[in-house]
Structures are given as structure tokens and as C-alpha cells.
Structure 1
Amino acid sequence: MRLALGQVEPLVGDKAGNLQRAEALAGQAAEAGADLLILPEMYLTGYALGREQTLALAEPADGPSAQEIAAIAAKHSVAIMYGYPEAATGGTEVFNTAGFVDSTGDRLLDYRKLHYFGDLDRDQFDPIPGEITASCCPVIPWRGWQLGVGICYDIEFPELARQLAVSGADLICVPTANMVDCDHVQELLLPARAVENQLYVAYANYCGADSVFEYGGLSQLAAPGGQQTLAGRGEQLLIAELDRQSLEASRAENPYLRDRLFQVAPRGAEMTANFPHSS
């Protein structure tokens, strides 16, 4: 599978501009032979909005912008994953969500960010309702691959990546808005997540700045062997390849999931040993 990671500067509050840019990026991704275009966290509106503007710009998962993204995907025969503020409960609640639309325009998944980063996330978005369980971390089949999602800060928690891995994920897609002073995520954590879980991690970040943050770029595809296909600091459409044969060879050489002693446990539960040790 071929991915296109859209590393762009945020257009804050400009849905029309972001949709127009998504059209151009989808066309470029199609020309490069990409199957899937991944765009950053809160791509539709920009990330640093504040509560009032986030609520004003939020749309339901099947809202007009979602329909336009679906039309763009179908027009260029490229699947699209993108971040947006999801309006829920009659518009009184809003979540930080990633939508996934396949290359025919069918909407296959909407994933809500679980781990909120700092005061801005907590001020802008409502808490995820109910207990956080494995059902909050779905894995879906697509074109012979198993896809999971995490949004930005989510991937910095090993439990989420491990939950997706034990659910069969081959690829974790991560729309993100990571700041320039947090390069350790791209340099250390992403290849670690890929290696320890024996899967690919695709990380699509912003670059440039808005009125609150400066973003670090360095979008990448981290492979299960630790290799990184890496973007720079500026705007770029990064093209990267997933290889099934390499994935299976790495899993045979590094059977971490088979050999682990502990299972992922729900929040608040004790970790339990998985004995006897498999051979």
C-alpha cells in the first residue's frame, strides 16, 4: 500500500480553504499512486481554536464538510483520513475526531481522540462518554490491511498502540498537531511503537504556526523494523510505502506479541500475567 502524508501549515477557521487544499492534495496523491491520504489533526478547521470557535465550526460526522471530503475521495479514487471537530448531542458537545473515507466516498470510521493534551484540548473538547475500553480503539479491514487510529497525544501512550496491535492492526494512522519542542515523539516514540508492536505507524503533522503554537513537521512512516520515511520541517506531501512481505518477515524475527507476559488492561484494572510463557 502507498500512503500520502499531507504535512501542511494550519488554516485556522477556514473550512473552505482547507477543503480546497484537500482537493489539491488528493489530486497530487492520486498522481503519485497513493491509496490513502492522511491529513493532520483538526485539519478541517485548524487545531488551536478555543471552545467558542470549536463549537461554532463543529459538524456531525455526516455533515456538509464530510460529504465534500467523500466527494473529493471518490473523484480522485484516494481514501482520505482527516481531523475535524465532531458535533454531538445536538451540538452541545464536541469531540476531537478523525474521519476515514474510502476511495469510493464511503465513510468507514470516525475515531474520537482519547487522551487530551494540556489545557487547550480539555477546554475545547468534551470528555469521551462512558468507560474507556477496547471498543474505543477499533481496527478495520481495508484493502487487505488492518487499520487502527490514534490522534496525536494518543500515540504517546503505549497501551493504545498495544491494544490496536493485539486487535490485529497492521497500520496505525495518526493525524497530529505536534509542536516543535516535542521532537522526541517523532525521533524516539514513533519508531519504538512500530517496533514493539510490529506494525507501521503513519504520522501526519502540521508545520508552520498559528496564533498559539509552532508545529514541528517531521511527518513520517515508521516501519516495524524501526526505519523511518521522514518529512522535513516545511510543507510537503510525503509518499511512503507499506510492504506486506517486510512486515511478515519482521514479525517472524521479532515476535513481541507472542512472547509478552502481560495483557493490556482497562483503566483502573490490574495487569495480569499471561502464563504459561509461550514458546
Structure 2
Amino acid sequence: MITPPRAVPAEPLTVATVQATPTPGDVAGNAVAGADLVRRAGAQGARVAVLPELYLCAYHPPTLAADPTGTDVAADPAGVVVDPRLDPLRAAAREAGVTVLVGAAARHPDGRRTIAALVVDRAGAVRVGYDKQQLWGDENDLFSPGGRGATLLVDDWRLGLGICYDGCFPEHGRAAALDGAHGYLCPSGYLAGSEHRRDLYYAARALDNTMFVVFANAVGGTDPWRFNGGAAIYDPQGRALARGADEGTDVLVATLDPAALAATRSAHTMLADRLPDQGGPRVSLSG
């Protein structure tokens, strides 16, 4: 039996997506800069802010390979992160009343190193919310994949978590939707030259699953690790509510409207109509 989508939230939720240029290896400095971005988001009414993949250490594989100790944050067995370098970000989340999703390299007690989405809650507590499951290319040389999905609860909104390459797999967003997600948060790092795929994947995940999608991205840097911005927030039909340019730091804000979610899911019932064994069984035909 297919589980139908959950009831829509009662109230709107204002969210922010960020595109920014962190400094490779400077966790403390990037946390300070991230705190300013969170305050900007809060000043525009956002209750959730999404920063890019690996933002705290920067997506720069040579630095991540050369200095794993300095670029990682340590998580305890429960996923809690206590690192004084993150204090500015914790303070900004408390002061602005914003739940923050920020990318980091996380070191787990069993020695695994993951590409993580840290959740900084409105009380300033930090924990690993999700570890990237689909590693891309040479990420496999530096990181271990996560083993589970995750859904973040904010007010009465259910927000599935993905990181960059996860969002290239329709099954990943669909798993979030089938867990009742109303939205899908994707901190990412898309390199210059990937603009077509960047703009297609996350709009498609929104329409595939009739849910909002919040896509954050790094921007700038030096080739071959130069990123292309274009952070965006998509409605449940895949239309951009906000979109950043391909260059420059930006904080983009939009309000997720439960009425739009309900109307879309009423008109486009893919989640409710999905077959238990979608597409199967199959036969081979001769032409």
C-alpha cells in the first residue's frame, strides 16, 4: 500500500537559501561569515536558512585532503557537535530565531568522515542532521556515505534533507516525500559549467514530488573549484519563487505557502496515485 502525502501544515514558513564563497580550511572564519548571513536571513523574516554544502570548511578537496583534523567537526555518538569555532553561528541562530542547515565535514566516533548537513536549532544546539548518501566522484576518496535519510521538523513542516548529488537521484527526493515531506532542503556545491543540470534537477524534484525545494550553492572560488551560485527556492510545481545570479553572495527569501502545496497536490496526485511496484513487472518486446 502506498502511503498518501501527509496533511499540509497549518501556517506558512518563510525560508532563506544562501549562496556564498567560504574560505578553504577556515572553519572559524566561515562560521563568522555564516552568522552574518543567518542574521540577514532572519532580518527578512526567515525561520529556516540553508547554507551550501561543506560551507564550514569549503568544498576544496586539496585542503580537505591535506588537513582533515583542521577542517572536520567532531560529532559524539548521538550526533551532537560541540566545537567553539561554531559559537558565532550558534549565537546567530538563537538571536535571529532561525533554524540553520549548514554543510560541514563531520568526523564520527567510529572514524567515519562524512559530508554532513549540520542542524543548528533556534536554541543554538548543533547536531549532525544528515550525512550525504550519494557521493560524487573523488568524494569517495575522502568521505564515507551516509546510511539513512532524514526529515527535519520545523514547526509543523516536514523538510526532507539531501546534499547536492543526492538530488540528482529521483528516488532520494521521492523517499523524502513518501516520509511525508512538504519540502526538501539541499545544500550543494555545483561547479561552473553545470548550470543546466543545476537548474533542472531541483525543479524536477519539486514537481516529481509536489513539494517545495530549497537549493543552496557555493559561488566563486578559483578553477577548477569555482562554483556557480544560482541558489533557488522552488514551488511544488517546480517554478522558481526566488533565484540567485551565477555570481555574487546572496541571501534569497521566500514564503512556503501551505495553500499552494494543497492546491498542487489536489491537482497533481502523483504521490497518491503511485503504484506499489511502479513500472513492473516488465516484458521484452520485439520491434
Is TM (by shorter chain) over 0.5? Answer: yes
Listed as ranges, the gaps of 5+ residues in structure 1 are: 265-270, 274-279
Partner of 2:134: 115
Q: Residues 25 and 10 from structure 1, CA distance in 2 versus in 1: closer, same or farther, beyond 3 angstroms?
A: same
Aligned-partner residue type, residue 4 of structure 1: A
Counterpart in the other structure of 1:242: 256
Aligned positions of 1:1-279 closer than 5 A: 1-48=13-60, 49-61=63-75, 62-64=81-83, 65-66=85-86, 68-89=88-109, 92-107=111-126, 110-119=129-138, 121-128=139-146, 132=147, 136-210=148-222, 212-228=224-240, 229-233=242-246, 234-262=248-276
Q: Which has the higher strand share?
A: 2
Task: Return 245-254 or 218-227, whichever deviates more.
Answer: 218-227
Q: CA deviation at 1:226?
A: 2.0
- Compute the TM-score of the two structures, normalised by the length of structure 2: 0.84
| Uncovered stretches (5+) of structure 2, i.e. residues with no partner | 1-12, 76-80, 282-287
Counterpart residue number, 1:276:
none
What secondary structure does 1:82 align onto?
strand
Report the alpha carbon displacement of residue 93 of structure 1 after superposing the two structures with TM. 2.7
TM-score normalised to structure 1 length: 0.86
Check 1:138–1:240 CA distance in 2 against 1; reply closer, same or farther (3 A cut). same
Shift of 1:108: 6.3
In 2, distance between residues paired with 1:53 and 1:108?
22
Deviation string, structure 1 residues 155-204 (Cα, Å, up to 9, x no partner): 00001100000000011110101112211233222111101101011000
2-structure distance, mates of 1:262, 1:216: 39
| Residue type at the aligned position of 1:8 | A
Secondary structure in 2 matching 1:34: coil
Contact map agreement 2:51 2:187 (CA 8 A) in 1: yes
Percent identity at matched positions?
Answer: 29
Tell me, yes or no, if the aligned pair for 2:25 and 2:64 is still in contact at 8 Å.
no
Quote the offset at 1:52 in angstroms.
3.3
- Please state how far the C-alpha of 1:104 moved relative to its aligned partner: 2.2
Q: What is the CA deviation profile of residues 80-102 of structure 1, one whole-angstrom value per residue up to 9, with x for unaligned ones?
A: 11001101136x43111001122
